[in-house]
Amino acid sequence: MIKLGILGGGQLGRMLLQEAANYPVETWVMENDAECPAAHLCRHFVKGDIRDFDAVYAFGKQVDTLTIEIENVNIEALEKLEQEGTLIFPNTNALKIIKSKILQKEFYKQNEIPTAEFRIIQNRSELNRYQDFLPAVQKLSTGGYDGRGVVMLKRKEDLENGFDEPSILEKMITVQKEIALIVAISQQGEPAIFPPVEMVFDPVLNLLDYQLCPASLPENILWKAEAMALSVARNLKSPGLFAIELLVDSSGNVFVNETAPRVHNSGHHTIEAHYCSQFDMLLRIILDYPLGNTKAVLPSLMLNIVGENDENGDAVYEGLSQVLKIENAFVHLYGKKETRGGRKMGHVTVISIEKQDLLLQAKKIKTLLKVKGTQKV
């Protein structure tokens, strides 16, 4: 039986393990927290720091193949393991490109994949030279996550809020629509593409409000987006699963925003709404099985369940019973004991042939379900 190691033990690892139980594979997880969401669904749990060379190397030597559920891993250890024959999904070259926003932007440019115009910045004094480049968005090259490490610089007065670290400065795009596509690349280099999802953001919190699948797009934009996502995944020259976020501007131009080389929040709806889920697909790639069917059984909507602001301590799911009464909703809670403001605690997928029904149920769920904490701030 193939021994599969997963670096990281969050909800993505948890859902991957739920699916892995359908296949003959021996699962291993490494994470620093022995009570993380993935700790109790694997065959072997190893407590260790995924950013530490020795820990990752030792873990990798115990398994046949490795994958990640977060990019923030020790890449030098992975390179050594790869040289010594461990299969890694994605390969370290792809991971390196994606881990650094600077390399990632250069990769898009080299491969003629449309992306927002950008400048590379090493520190604030360099940043100050780009007054004429505003309005722009500055993104830290490494370490950003879920909206952190990003700052909007609209006017030159904003420059003092900029980062004093290696980063990219991107021309601001007037986003009309944000979409995401997941592309699978088999060990033989064969691709499969999931239908695009459309992300709807809360304009105040800049947090995902909900996402719809399929995205409602004119055919010409859909085709452009699919071609670009395929181009990103193929040019990374690695088997694996890739989530490509794209921005559509008001003129119908499509730009790659960023890529994740792993299962992704934008693919959770595939668990119930598609023939093959993103988790099943990644396992098929790793186990060298045929790629699965990316088609939808029904259109879907996915909402993250996030901790309410100013609520800490043990999570309490207010309104859960009412949400569980919704006849076409599927609830996933991630087993995180403690909540905090904005923490992803779970998600709900709704499936329906009627878009209006999806939107109605989403509204109901958002109104009903609140993650509170036992300690008030």
* Interaction site with a copy of itself (CB under 8 A): 1, 14, 17-18, 21-24, 27, 40-43, 275, 284, 289-290, 292-293, 295, 297-298, 315, 317, 320-321, 324-325, 327-328, 330-333, 335, 337, 351
Q: Is the separation of the CB atoms in 3 and 26 below 8 Å?
A: yes
- CB contact at 8 A, 172 and 181: no
Nearer to a copy of itself, 19 or 178 (CB): 19
- For residue 366, give Cα distances in angstroms to 58, 107, 338, 343, 345: 44, 38, 20, 15, 14
Work out how close the CB of 138 gets to a copy of itself at its nearest, in angstroms, rounded to a whole number.
38
Q: Give least dist CB 77 to a copy of itself, A.
A: 26
Q: How far apart are the first and last CA of the chain?
A: 48
Q: Shortest distance, CB of residue 161 to a copy of itself, whole angstroms?
A: 40
Q: Are 256 and 228 in contact (CB under 8 A)?
A: yes
Task: Indicate the residue among 240 and 346 with the shorter CB distance to a copy of itself.
Answer: 346
Q: With respect to a copy of itself, which residue has the nearer C-beta, 144 or 214?
A: 214
* Residue 374 CB, nearest approach to a copy of itself (Å): 13
Q: What is the dihedral of CA 227, 233, 237, 239, to 10 degrees?
A: -130
Query: Which of 224, 269 has the CB closer to a copy of itself?
Result: 269
Measured from the CB of residue 361, what is the shortest distance to a copy of itself in angstroms?
12
CB-wise, 167 or 278, nearer to a copy of itself? 278
> Which among 69, 62, 63, 59 has a CA at the least distance from the CA of 38?
69
Decide: helix, strand or coil at residue 34.
coil
| Closest distance of CB 188 from a copy of itself, Å | 12
Q: Checking DSSP bridges between strand 87-89 and strand 65-68, what pairing results, if any?
A: parallel
Residues 6+ positions from 14 with CB-CB distance below 8 Å: 37, 38, 41, 334, 335
Shortest spacing between CB 56 and a copy of itself, in angstroms: 22
Tell me how far apart the alpha carbons of residues 239 and 374 are, in angstroms, rounded to a whole number.
44
User: Judged by CB, which is closer to a copy of itself: 57, or 289?
Assistant: 289
Indicate the SS3 state at residue 31: strand
Return the number of the residue (8 or 162) whose C-beta is nearest a copy of itself.
Answer: 8
